[in-house]
Structure 1
């Protein structure tokens, strides 16, 4: 038999050990009563006694701390509480109607194979790019048919959107405007491009010559003195030829001047002879 001593959790304690039972059996024999008469009295009796709480001192034994929650949850009614309290709670209970339940948290991803996971990641990346305006959704294609799009009549009737149902993304529109601006060709732009191309060609030729000279110098270092001697010889020959040409020009100039002087002298002589003849032939 179990006795309820209160709402505080209790520990069942055996209050009728085996020694007590034997003592009662011996007493019943002395009284003249048989074991059948004392059968019910010899049954074990249990009694719930409150569990001793730990003392709050230095000698307190280490435990889980569950006893500290007794005072805090003393007003909580459970199935182990008094029947009156349990019955009162059951009578006062009113079920809630039209409860709005909200699911919070993140959905657990479904386990996918490697192929499905890769395709799912690609679709997520494409959707993100479409939201940012970097990628257009391709037009649907029907095998052996005609691709078309459904457009509402209101959108089609607007003058601003008529004939331009599909628009390019913002980045592509900006790039298209830049291409239109650069596509305007003028005479000045053509000449400028030709000059730049000529400069690039000259720079490339100079770079090739420089690389060829550097390669020859590295490949044939012994030919350098011979080339220097040839260069000095060529320079000397050029200077000599120039000096000879100058000397020949001076000689030719002097000869011309001498011939001109002789011609003037000859003319003066002829003029003098002619005047003398005229004076002699004149009548006295």
Structure 2
């Protein structure tokens, strides 16, 4: 098995929304805001090469939305999914599986693209199976008013229409030792959205966890630092505490999807609770 960090692009989000009830005077120490109160964000995906399988975890926003849509998210930087794949010698047609932690547009938008004449949509990874889970799928296709703007029909419905959509998991199961023979375990988390999937990957004698929106940035480690986007913040609190305690005790390496400035972190126990221990680039740990 070989892992590759895939940078699908950078954007910005409102810092207040990203930190919920935490005052700006506190959160800006770790996540400084610009004059519009926006903080730097990443869409950092992960590619797993394992035998004949090439598995991509999340796909970023994609590029099919309107100029007006993207103007809300202040795209910045030079990263793109295709260029990042090319850097490691791959093309999107090589991808055999796309695993989506959840179906919010910034995690799955790149899974679907316009067709050639812009008359409809098609899978952006034509040879790939698309992986979600049935409970989250139902949550996404019948969205609540709070999340409706994040579950875009043009991202989600073409997945089903393609015939390539597959589900993993078992209702009531909190953790899967192996997800659909994809070679990694999955923790289900319900605070941010229903049945978000958090991959746990054993790699080079370390446990690497793809954090998705359970821990968006290193600045979100303290328990009350919960996004305003989370649908069940009190459940997020419980899920974070259980996970962060375990991650600190067992020395997990946390792969941060949304932190534009920190790729991988470790945690430690302190008198104030679990806190940041070390920050690393991917290459510092695994090359």
Relative to the length of structure 2, the TM-score reads 0.14
Instruction: Name the one with the larger strand percent.
Output: 2
Instruction: Name the one with the larger helix percent.
Output: 1
Relative to the length of structure 1, the TM-score reads 0.14
Greater RCO (CA < 8 Å, at least 6 residues apart)? 2
